[in-house]
A and B are shown apart, each in its own frame.
Chain A
Amino acid sequence: MSDMATLATVLFAMIGGAIRVSTPFLFVSLGECVTEKAGRINLGLEGTLVLGAMAAYMVAYETGDPWLGVLAAGCAGLILGTMHATLCSLPRVNDVAIGIALMSFGTGLAFFFGKPYIQPQAPRLPSVELGGWLGNPQLAEALTVNPLFFIGVALAFFLRWAFDNTRYGLLLRMAGDSVAASRAMGVSVDGVRLAATAAGGFLSGIGGAFLSLYYPGSWNEALSSGQGLMAVALVIFARWDPQRCFYAAMLFGAAGALGPALQSVGIVKGYYFFNAAPYILTLLIMIGAGRDGKAARAMPSELGVQR
């Protein structure tokens, strides 16, 4: 293979990887973003992701309709989110601890009910082919996109707009920035946080549906391998901005594709290093972003409060 073709293969793989791998990161980080904007941390989204993946696979297999599976995943996430919010609204309850408990709960529940669904094959979500006209099979494959990706992208930009320009966005940010101000306005802080956490759970569940019904497109217990936790970290990296969550998820997906792509074209030295690329990249950007103090200012101020 010539150098140009090699470069093109790696490049296409990274574009394809960004589109294929980013969607679950995007949905979970958007969900966490909404939750944290309201002043609550939900660390349990890894569990929500896994439970969503299982619920989606189960319902899609039983009904034959993958979109019903997506809805089921969202509902499973909604229930876990509501549980988190309800437990956290009790006095002297720490949301980080509850989040970790619900992470174990979600994955445990998913493994328990998911046992009979490891073997069968559920119908897969359809995809849209955007690159067929290019006449390049690699690029065509990279540009075969699932509708959930578009929904996620649209949602990222919509949420960014809604946080700044709508009444609900303002109420949400107020609950996250100042409990006192919310109370003075006569707004129920717990109510806002309940809605935000439930909505966040819903989105994370859909991220799980993407994993089990589209890419990699099967249910087993190692399916998520920590993607939910990484997505929670991406929110800090994206400074609580939904639009930046999208960029971060794309970057993360592309970096993840680097390791396999380099090996496939014969650049085989140091693949452990390249496989770690997403994490190294995140670390470097976090260090860079942390230096100017902007990240600290962007953080919802109620998040830091120890209860």
Chain B
Amino acid sequence: MDFDKLSRRTVLKSAAATGLVSALGARAAQAQAPLVVGAIYVGPRDDFGYNQAHAIGIAELKKVRGVKVVEEENVPETIAVQKTMESMIQLDGAKLIVATSFGYFDPHMLAMAAKFPQVEFRHAVGLWDEKKHPKNAGSYFGYLDQAHYVNGVAAGLVTKTKKIGFIAAKPIPSLLRNINAVLVGARKNTPDATVTVIFTGDWSLPVREAEATNALIDAGCDVITCHVDSPKVVVQTAERRGAMVLGHNASQASLAPRGFVTGAEYKWETIYQGFAGNLAKGEKLPNWVRGGYDLDYVRNTAYGAAATEPARRAADAAIADMKAGKPIFVGPFKDNKGTVVGTKTYDNYAPELEGMNYLIEGVVGSTS
């Protein structure tokens, strides 16, 4: 017998199946339980950032009749998430697992999707591949780079030093795409603007994020933005130093009454409401959900005190461009090592953009 695969729950399950725990079996057979959705977050649900944005969306799911939501926060991207998923499926009876963090997918969610083929798994961030991965898994994502592009357009018009600072966690494609979008946006009206990146190495390291913010401002950046789980520390530190701020993930406008320009926000509720609609009608969930401004999956935070009139006008125009599907990454373009990486103009839905592993010319920083 393979003892490695033998868990307490597996034993319970087989016991129930053979009728040893007949009472338990009888209860499970009773009809019409609510549809249980399990949502897993990597950090706290009220972090002013990524997890909060998801939790706001999930809260919309709870309002749907016949849907019960179980949530677990602070689940690390380790074997722990498999245990969480297994417990949500075995103990709570979850039929849909929503895994919101990048590192949950491979190998954890894939392993669970193979083990529980009757359960649907959906992962935020684009990694699901129709050819390679199970059919009961899938991915959904909002193209936040469109909102970051709008951030960049506004930043290009408010910066005086023409240097924008970007505090980034890890060099993954969706994050690099946001950095590049800020640069392209800033260069729309200020062709010699640059974006300086500091990678901290992890999604939530408050002390290092504060250090990075100080270092960028010391190096002459006057507009600060970030892609970390909780931008609270970055935004507060920049505000104290008198720098201008672009938000990320959720609204941080209240944290920077003087320096806030605008921010890139997800609108997960649009996607989750879509899922809820599918579930209510008993339809199969789509495996691949993508969209940006055109589908109302992202938005920009209302302009703050540091957004000047020209910046607001230009940003409004950029939002209109995004809604109309105008491409951000217009070819040909080079990476910041001088290699031509974009030979053509990429449509905002182009699959190549989801594998973006370079920083384009004008970004000061390195992916390794």
Contacts and interface: CB of A to CB of B under 8 A. Distances in A.
B231 to A, nearest CB: 11
Interface string B199-232: 1110011111111101111111100000000101
Contact of B255 (A121, A141, A264, A272): A121
Interface stretch (B9-17, B86-94, B233-241, B350-358): B233-241
A12 interface: yes
B198 A118 contact: no
B201 A20 contact: no
Contacts of B366: 268-269, 271
Contacts of A263: 196-199, 212, 215, 365
B43 A222 contact: yes
B200 A275 contact: yes
B215 A257 contact: yes
Interface in A9-24: 9, 12-13, 16-17, 20-21
A225 B230 CA distance: 14
Interface stretch (A29-37, A96-104, A197-205, A211-219): A211-219
B222 to A, nearest CB: 12
B18 to A, nearest CB: 38
Interface stretch (B44-52, B178-186, B260-268): B44-52
B204 A222 contact: yes
A242 to B, nearest CB: 23
A115 B46 contact: yes
B201 A17 contact: no
B304 interface: no
A211 B43 CA distance: 19
Contact of B230 (A12, A21, A220): A220
A195 to B, nearest CB: 31
B38 interface: no
B364 A275 contact: no
In this complex, the interface size class of chain B, counting residues with CB under 8 Å from chain A, is 35 or more
A13 B215 contact: yes
A223 B206 CA distance: 6
Interface in A84-127: 111, 115, 118-119, 121
Chain A interface residue bracket vs B: 35 or more
B198 to A, nearest CB: 4
B199 A216 contact: no
B200 A260 contact: yes
B207 A227 contact: yes
Contact of A264 (B165, B204, B230, B233): B165
Contacts of A269: 366, 368
Contact of A216 (B48, B210, B365): B210
B364 A266 contact: yes
Nearest to B359: A268
A221 B364 contact: no
Contact of B44 (A138, A220, A257): A220
User: Which secondary structure dominates chain A's binding surface?
Assistant: helix
B42 to A, nearest CB: 10
B209 A216 contact: yes
A260 to B, nearest CB: 4
Contacts of A272: 201
B255 A13 contact: no
A222 B211 contact: no
Contacts of B216: 260, 264
Contacts of B205: 222, 225
B233 A119 contact: no
B198 A222 contact: no
A260 B208 contact: yes
A121 B205 CA distance: 19
Nearest to A16: B214
A20 B240 CA distance: 14
Contact of B201 (A13, A222, A275): A275
Contacts of A170: none
A16 B47 CA distance: 27
A263 B198 CA distance: 6
Contacts of A52: none
B339 interface: no
A111 B43 CA distance: 12
A141 B236 contact: no
Counting chain B CB atoms within 10 Å of each CB, the highest count among A12, A115, A260, A261 belongs to: A260
Contacts of A225: 204-207
A126 to B, nearest CB: 12
Interface string A260-283: 110111101111100100000000
Contacts of A275: 200-201, 208
A299 to B, nearest CB: 29
A138 B211 CA distance: 13
Contacts of B208: 256, 259-260, 275
B22 interface: no
B78 interface: no
B196 A13 contact: no
Interface in B53-106: 74
A261 B255 CA distance: 25
Contacts of B44: 115, 118, 220-221
A218 B215 contact: no
Contacts of B220: 1
A269 B364 CA distance: 11
Contacts of A266: 196, 364
27 contacts: A13-B211, A16-B214, A16-B218, A17-B214, A118-B46, A119-B48, A121-B236, A141-B241, A216-B233, A217-B236, A218-B206, A218-B236, A220-B206, A222-B205, A225-B204, A225-B206, A256-B207, A256-B208, A260-B200, A260-B216, A261-B215, A261-B218, A263-B197, A263-B212, A269-B368, A275-B200, A275-B208
Given A16-B218, A211-B207, A225-B206, 11 more contacts: A9-B219, A119-B46, A215-B207, A220-B47, A220-B206, A220-B232, A222-B43, A222-B230, A263-B199, A264-B215, A269-B368
Interface of B: 43-44, 46-48, 74, 165, 196-201, 204-212, 214-221, 230, 232-233, 236-237, 241, 255, 364-366, 368
Q: Which 9 A-B pairs have the closest CB atoms?
A: A268-B366, A216-B210, A222-B204, A264-B215, A264-B219, A260-B212, A260-B215, A263-B198, A216-B233
